[in-house]
Structure 1
C-alpha cells in the first residue's frame, strides 16, 4: 500500500506541475471531476488507516493521550478536526459495507458519507438492518444530486421512501438521534491570540444555548442613550460580567488546589507607584491601569524573583505542591509540560521529578506540571524528565521510540 500511495503521490505531483490553462473547457471540467473523485477515494484510504491506528492503540504507545492528539502532532491538524476524523473513521467502519464502497469508489464525498452514516444509524435503530441497507442505496443516489446540508434535511424523512409503513413511528427516533448528535457535536474552542485575546468558536447544544442567552440577555441591553457599544461588544461585556458573577459566588470547583481566580504578577514597588505593568499567569501583559483596578479587590501574594523574572523560591518544603508554589509552577510551565500536550494548568498535577518517597524535595526545581494522562504515562513508561539549563523541563524519550533520545519540549505553552 505504501508503494501504491507513493505512485499516486507522483501522479498528483505531475498534475500539479501541469498547465491547466492549456486545457479546453470540457477537459477542465473532466479534470476537476477526476480530481474530486481521487480526493474522495484517498479519503476512504485515510479513514481506514486512521481506524487501524486507533484500534491498535498506536497513539497511547507513543505517549499521546488519544489518537486525536497524536494526529494533531503527526498531521498538524486542529484537535477538533482530528477528533472528527477519528469519529468518522470508526463510524464508517461500523456502517454497512455499501457506505465504505460508495466512499472508496468516489461516488460520495466525506461530508456525504458523514450524513449517510448518521441517517443510516438512525434508520437501523428504528427499522432494522434490511431497511438500513435500502436507505444506503437511496442516500447514495441522493449524494449525486444534492449537497450534504440538503441531504441531511431530506434524510429526516428517509423512511417515507424506504419504509413508509413505519415512517411516523420512526420520526420520533430520528428526533432522538438528532438530540444525541447535538450532544456529541457540542464543543467550545478558546484560541489564544498573540496579544492575549481569545477567539471563541464552537457549537452549543439547545440547552446550553438557552442558558447562555438567558444569562447574557439582561446584561447585554444598552445601558442608556449614551451607550455607544455595538451589539457584539455588549454581548462580550455581558459574558465577562457573567464570569465575574460566577467567580464571586465562591462555589466553583477548585483548580489544582486553589480557588478559581485570576493571577497577576507585578512588582510591588511598581504597583505602589502606580507605574507597573503586570502579567497574567496565562501569559498576556496588562497595562498599569488594569493592574491597579484588579489590585483593588485582590490578595497580595509575595514571590521571590531573580533578575530575569524567574521564580526562585516561594515557600517551605512540603509534600503537596499548593498555594504560591503551584502558582509559580503554573507561571513557569503554562500547562502540561509533556511534549505535544496543550492541556491547561487546571487539568494538571504537580509531579516530583525526584520522587518524594526517594528523598525528593517539594521545590520548583523538583516539580513539573503534568496532566493526568501524562502523569500516569511518565510513572509507568520509559520517559524521563529533567530541568534544562534554562530552568524549563525537557523530556527524554525511550530508546525504542527515539534511538538518539533527543530531549523534547512542549511548544504549546508560553515560554519566557
Structure 2
C-alpha cells in the first residue's frame, strides 16, 4: 500500500505521489508547484533527520571500544565505511551526519551518568522536521566556537533563540515570512560574537586552528589542492618557488642559436622562452620539491621502505597507447605510467585480466649514490638550456631507455628536472650521449638545423 506520512501536524506525499510528481512537474500550476516544493522540502527535513540519527547510531555501535562492533560484523573497518557501502553517499556527507548526531545526541560521562546533548534545542527541532541540515550545521558550528568561553545560561538561551528564529516560532515572528538560510547564518554568528566574552581568538591561535591542506578528487585529469598555510610555512614555500621562478630575472638571448656550430656548448646567453604559465611552473617546482623530500634520508619510511609510488597496469595494456594504468587507484594513460617509472621512485606492478600479479618491477635499475654524485659533478643541474633547477632536485634520465637495454651507467645518465624529464618525448628537446657526455638538440622553432650540441657542463665551463 502507498501511505501518506504525517509528522508534527504536517502531511507529506506518499512515495507513489512523489514518483508521479517527478514526471509531471511541467503540468503543475504555479500555486501547485510552490506548494509541492514546500511539501517535499518538509519531507526532506524529516528524511535528513532520520539519516543523521541512523548514521550516528551506526557509528556508535561501531565504536572501537564497543563489544562485537557492528562494522566488523559486516566486514567493514569502521562505521563510516559501513555507511558508505550501504548508502552510497560520500564520506564527507556521512561524517557531517555523524558529527551532527554527536552534537544533538544525549551524552554519557566517564562514570556512566547520562548528560544532556550539547545542542538539545537543535536536536529537538531536527527530530521534529522543523530544522533543515544546513541551518543545523550552521548553528552548531557558529555557537560551538563560543561555547567554551560563554556563560552557560546565556549560551543555552542563544541556542534556543536561534533555533526558534530559524524555525519561525519566535513570538515576534508571528505573521512574518520565515527567514532564509542567509538570515539564520547572520543571526547565529551575531549570537556567537556576543557570547564570546574573551573577544576574538588571538591571531596566532586562530591561525593555528584554521591551518590545513586537502587533496580533492581527480577531475579532468588533475587533483584540486585546497588549504590554508601558516605564514612561516607559506614563506618557506615561497622562498623555494622564488629560488627558481624569480620574476625579476629575465634573459634576452644575445646570440641566435643557429649561429653556433655543433661543437659549441649551450651557454647562458642562449636561454630560450619557457611555454609554461607561472601557475604551471609553480606546480612543477612543487613536484620537484616532493620528489626531493621523498628521497631525503630524514624522510619517514612506510613499512620500513622509502615512500614509493606504485603504478599498476594490466599485462594486455602494456603496449596499448590508449589503455589506462592506475596510480593509487586513479586512472592515468599507460604512457604516463611508463614515463614516471623511469624516475626510480616508482614501482610498476603488472597484472593479468584476473588480477593476478604476473610481474613486479624493482628499483634495482636506479642510479646509485656514487653514480649520482658523478653525474651531478658533470651536469650541475638540469641540462636543458635555460632551466635553473639544481642537481639536488633533478631526476636522472636513462638516455637509452632501461626497458630497451640501456645500462644504468654514468655514460647513459643525465640530470633533468621533473618537467623536462616527464615531457622530453613531446617537448621537442632531444638528448644523446657522445663519448660519455650529453649533447642536446633544440626544438625546430629554436634551431631549424636539428643539430646536437654539447650540454653546458660544470666540468668544462669557466
Q: TM tier, shorter chain?
A: 0.5 to 0.7
Aligned to 2:335: 287
Q: 1:68 aligns with which of 49, 70, 80?
A: 80
Correspondence 1:174-213 to 2 at 5 A = 180=209, 182=210, 186=212, 188-192=214-218, 197-204=221-228, 206=230, 210=234
Aligned to 2:198: 169
CA distance in 1, matches of 2:250, 2:81: 48
CA distance in 1, matches of 2:89, 2:158: 33
Q: CA RMSD in A?
A: 4.8
User: Which structure's CA Rg is the greater one?
Assistant: 2
Q: 2:238 aligns with which of 214, 223, 229?
A: 214
The 1:158/1:14 distance shift into structure 2, 3 A limit, reads same
TM-score, length of structure 1 as denominator length: 0.55
Q: 1:326-369, CA deviations, whole angstroms, 9 ceiling, x for partnerless residues?
A: xxxxxxxxxxxxxxxxxxxxxxxxxxxxxxxxxxxxxxxxxxxx
Q: Within the alignment, does 1:118 sit opposite 2:147 as a pair?
A: no
Aligned to 1:127: 150
Q: Helix, strand or coil: the match of 1:188?
A: strand
CA distance in 1, matches of 2:201, 2:349: 60
Please list every run of 5 or more consecutive structure 1 residues that lacks an aligned counterpart in the other structure: 316-321, 325-416
Q: 2:58 aligns with which of 37, 53, 61?
A: 53
Shift of 1:110: 0.6
Q: Within the alignment, does 1:42 sit opposite 2:43 as a pair?
A: no
The 1:285/1:22 distance shift into structure 2, 3 A limit, reads closer
Please list every run of 5 or more consecutive structure 2 residues that lacks an aligned counterpart in the other structure: 63-69, 106-116, 167-177, 252-272, 365-462
Q: 1:82 aligns with which of 73, 81, 94?
A: 94
Q: 1:25 aligns with which of 30, 34, 40?
A: 30
Aligned to 1:338: none
Aligned to 2:179: 145
Aligned to 2:132: 109
Contact 1:68 1:79 in 2 (8 A): yes
Shift of 1:243: 1.2
The 1:80/1:96 distance shift into structure 2, 3 A limit, reads closer
Where is the helix percentage greater, Structure 1 or Structure 2? 1
Q: Helix, strand or coil: the match of 2:198?
A: helix
Shift of 1:113: 0.5
